[in-house]
Chain A
Amino acid sequence: MENPKIIETPEVVVRFSGDSGDGMQLAGTIFSTVAAILGNEISTFPDYPAEMRAPRGSLGGVSSYQVHVGKKVYTPGDACDVLIAMNPAALKQNVKYLKKGGVLIYDTDTFVKSELDKAKFTTADPFEELAIAGKFQLVPVPISESTKSSLADTGMDAKSVARCRNIFAVGFVFWLFNRPLEKAEEFLTSKFGKKPEVLAANIKVLTDGFNYGANTHASVSTYRIESEKAAPGIYCDVKGNAATAYGLVAAAEKAGLKLFLGSYPITPATDILHELSKLKFLGVTTVQAEDEIAGICTAIGASFGGALAATSTSGPGVALKSEAIGLAVMAELPLVVIDVMRGGPSTGLPTKTEQTDLLQCLYGRNGESPAVVMAASTPVDCFYSAYNASKIALEHNTPVILLTDAFLGNGSSSLRIPEMDQLPEIKPAVASADMADSYEPYARDAETFVRLKAVPGTEGLMHRLGGLEKNVHGAISTDPNVHQQMVNNRQAKIDYIANCIPALEVKGDADADTLVVGWGGTYGHISAAVENLRAEGMKLAQAHFSYISPLPKNTEEVLRKYKNILCCELNNGQFAGYLRSKIEGISIKQFNEVKGQPFQISDIEAAIKAL
């Protein structure tokens, strides 16, 4: 590759890859956080090994962290511009993600026979074996040895020195992208401030990595990333699962209620349990239950007791919780059920992403059992979705199922830290003691069909709930007309919520004939594909659904306007089929993939072009 230059770019994708123990996530986080501070939008995605403790240097032990920074960043990116490979296994596993002409930085010190063997290379020339020659800008850097000599005078042991290799790589990447080192130093100070020797070592290695680039690699392309001013405010970097947890905390705070999470560990949802368990000092109660069913049932108990109650899980857990969700439907108790979707069916692909639980969440219960189903569209939207799910649950006394997915849950983006007074009010639908003479557990508001919940401990409002059908007084009833009425009421209550949620928005060209539709975690990929094609001159409109049950009120009106509708989903067409069932006679084309991976933007573009 000839003609090295400074490339002005609106966006860049960097992929850090190495052994699980090489600190790739920290390296990526430093890079993305500094980018955000400099005004870039960011989107990140970790790619963890499937095995729990794969041997060092093996193909199964490779861990990567992809970071996308720049203007208008919707996704972590299909492919990367720069790949950092800390060892041969990382190169072998990740080279497929590097764009043609991209920069490949690798630690030459690890390209030795023993490491090549572990990565199952059969010859001494891995580049020849991977047919890399001529495709990329190769940047060999002796990362291990340079780190060693950088820290030679510190007296640190070999293991501690080896742990700093990632920071040397970060320093080099900072040079490559013309990023100010002070910002990385500030990050390291906040992380290692309590351990001055570790901090000093990291800053030394960081600086030496930067200088190594400046002094020796004048011949490779360097980048200057454009930035756009974000809305003023204080920002932090959050992963989707943490954002979900924070959304629940914010809702509890706003509603003035205790937050209770009943949960059982399950990939990829467990981080919600982890996050909330850390927040006991905010009054959060978490119960790690004995199983998925107990997870939701403890939450139902806490909800009955007056808390904002939630349970977090993934698809197999939703299957186990179905009967209890039905109880919450019947008892009309507020409950937030979070499904961080993963590949299925059965155990499926636990660490991979899919949208295959939609119909399970809509319909996977016995009886006519309507619940609110909604979906988050970005890691940051997990915060607002969890907040809104809680608001709807508490104000309408219903279970709300919030769908996120492995891609959103593990990915991160920057959250503008909200001021509490800017979040909408939450007014739980609860009866008060002064209603003692007239309280009926299943009396409803004539417009919203919401029943008022009475909290145990309130004098005079003693009543019994349960899974059996009941009349308005809360007494068991098998009267056919009572059952019909209650079935109607429960459905009408959910239908009414369409009046309380935002209308479906359409982005793109006003005169487009084609509408691209999606829901949940595919928002970034679909948006990027639509914008790319519009930039090429195609007329396109896009509508993305956050609320699925009930649908926004204007859904039919919007969809009827378009000649072509393409619904893109990571399943076999569950939402497309749902829309057809709700809008009689509507014609919807589908683009579906079920690979356990997010869409490739280019694949969506191809599907749109093929219409």
Chain B
Amino acid sequence: MSYTQADFKSDQPLKFCAGCGDHAVAASMQKAMAELGIAPSQTAVISGIGCSSRMPYYMNTYGMHTIHGRGLAVATGLKTSRPDLTVWNVSGDGDCLAIGGNHFIHAMRRNIDLNIILFNNKIYGLTKGQYSPTSDRGLVSKSSPWGTVEDPFCPAELCLGARGNFFARAIDADIKNSVEAMKAAVHHKGAAVVEMLCNCVIFADGIHKLVTDSSVRADKTILLEDGKPMIYGKNRDKGLILDGWDIKSVTIGENGITEKDLLVHDAKKADPTFHLKLAMMGYSPYGYAGADDNLPIALGVIRDVEAPTYDWAVNDQIEDVKGKKKQRTLRDLLLSGDTWEVK
């Protein structure tokens, strides 16, 4: 059976603001679903609360728009009881990393097979412009008129720190690479996070422009591809090498550097240490500001490591234990314990 993007569009008109990055992500999700070829009836999209969490309404699949922060917990229950379904979870930086932070880290730890699309616009949009847990230190917002005095989470660092096995990053407007990252997340068995760098046109316009603006993007980002050398730049002449313990940006052809000297991406390496270094390129403890200007931020699939999934393990254990016990019904069970008969 093959599907088109239209098969995954519901009859509900999108209600994101004009110019919001979420329009593009919605299209990317529908396109990825169509290309994956999994039936709409076998797909469920779960979300929490926030602008991006409206997404289930726009998908012609099964869906639930739950309560703030709890989408991942609902999705965990759905996937555990129905491992046959393909379950997506849509969440924003506030929903996923503030009020829902506990569910996020435990979804990572359990490695439940969910496809988590994390819309990171570094702002609370639906409540009209407060700073979020991913806002750069010092961000001026309605709830921080003199600038925030707290450091942000970098979602990749949190994901890997909570033992996440799949992390990808993409830019909202870049539909091609967004679709690829989402498809890779669905193919990955386990908790998969795709961080979408989204632009909130109303409350944080240009929040990612230091890296996503078309004038700088080629030089400020690198698309990582498994098994391929780390090359980037407008002229495809920049690359990454390892210099001691640090990643360093070099120019191919300068100082005798050739393509062979460059790092080759290994997304499947179990040790997350180097994936974390890649994921943190371009970030400082304070956000983008103050980061090493010479390093691009990593896009694409940064980590993709197979491990037993929670939903599989739960159901496998049930089947295993069924094989070890004779009782098949509650009555069998009760009769097998201490009983007495009254005649």
Interface residues of A (CB under 8 A from B): 33, 36-37, 39, 187, 190, 229-237, 246, 249-250, 253, 258, 260, 262, 279-285, 287, 289-291, 293-294, 297-307, 309, 323-324, 326-327, 331, 415, 417-420, 454, 456-468, 475-476
Contacts and interface: CB of A to CB of B under 8 A. Distances in A.
B338 A187 contact: yes
B85 A457 contact: yes
A456 B67 CA distance: 20
A293 B73 contact: yes
Nearest to B62: A456
B232 interface: no
A281 B338 contact: no
Instruction: Indicate the member of A187, A290, A301, A467 with the most B CB atoms within 10 Å.
Output: A301
A235 B339 contact: yes
Given A236-B337, A465-B65, A467-B67, A305 B321 contact: no
Contacts of A229: 342
Contacts of B327: 281-282
Contacts of A249: 330
B330 A294 contact: no
Contact of A289 (B49, B73, B79): B73
Contacts of B18: none
Contacts of B342: 39, 229-235
Given A293-B70, A417-B331, A281 B341 contact: no
Interface string B313-343: 0110110011011011111011101111111
B80 interface: yes
Interface of B: 10, 12, 39-42, 44, 46, 49, 56-57, 59-67, 70, 73-82, 84-85, 102-103, 106, 314-315, 317-318, 321-322, 324-325, 327-331, 333-335, 337-343
23 contacts: A36-B340, A237-B338, A260-B77, A262-B77, A280-B321, A285-B315, A287-B80, A287-B314, A289-B73, A297-B67, A298-B76, A299-B77, A301-B74, A301-B76, A302-B82, A304-B44, A304-B62, A304-B74, A305-B81, A454-B62, A458-B41, A466-B56, A467-B65
Q: Which 3 A-B pairs have the closest CB atoms?
A: A301-B77, A466-B65, A298-B77
Contacts of B102: 290-291, 294
Given A464-B63, A464-B64, 7 more contacts: A234-B340, A246-B334, A260-B81, A304-B78, A464-B10, A465-B65, A476-B12
Contacts of B40: 462
B12 A475 contact: yes
B341 A234 contact: yes
Contacts of B12: 475-476
B314 A456 contact: no
B62 A324 contact: no
Nearest to B322: A281
A417 B81 contact: no
A281 B328 CA distance: 7
A305 B82 contact: yes
A229 B331 CA distance: 23
Contacts of A460: 41
Contact of A235 (B78, B79, B340): B340
B166 to A, nearest CB: 20
A307 B341 CA distance: 34
A contacts with B: majority SS: mixed
A283 B342 CA distance: 31
A300 B74 contact: yes
Nearest to A326: B67
Contacts of B56: 464, 466
Contacts of B67: 297, 323-324, 326-327, 467
Nearest to B42: A457
Contact of A282 (B42, B106, B328): B328
A232 B343 CA distance: 5
A300 B60 CA distance: 21
Contact of A306 (B57, B60, B82, B334): B82
Contacts of B60: 462
Most A-side CB within 10 Å, residue of B78, B85, B327, B337: B78
B26 to A, nearest CB: 14
Given A460-B41, A464-B10, A287 B338 contact: no
A421 to B, nearest CB: 10
Given A294-B106, A417-B335, A285 B66 contact: no
B62 A283 contact: no
A467 B66 contact: yes
A262 B75 CA distance: 12
Contacts of B78: 301-302, 304-305, 456
A419 B84 CA distance: 33
Nearest to B45: A464
Contacts of B340: 33, 36-37, 234-236
| Residue from A454, A458, A463 having most chain B Cβ neighbours under 10 A | A463
Nearest to A291: B102
A465 B67 CA distance: 11
B80 A302 contact: yes
A258 B64 CA distance: 21
B127 to A, nearest CB: 15
Given A229-B342, A231-B342, A236-B339, A301 B75 contact: yes
Contacts of A418: 331
A454 B61 CA distance: 12
A137 to B, nearest CB: 31
Contacts of A304: 44, 62, 64, 74, 77-78
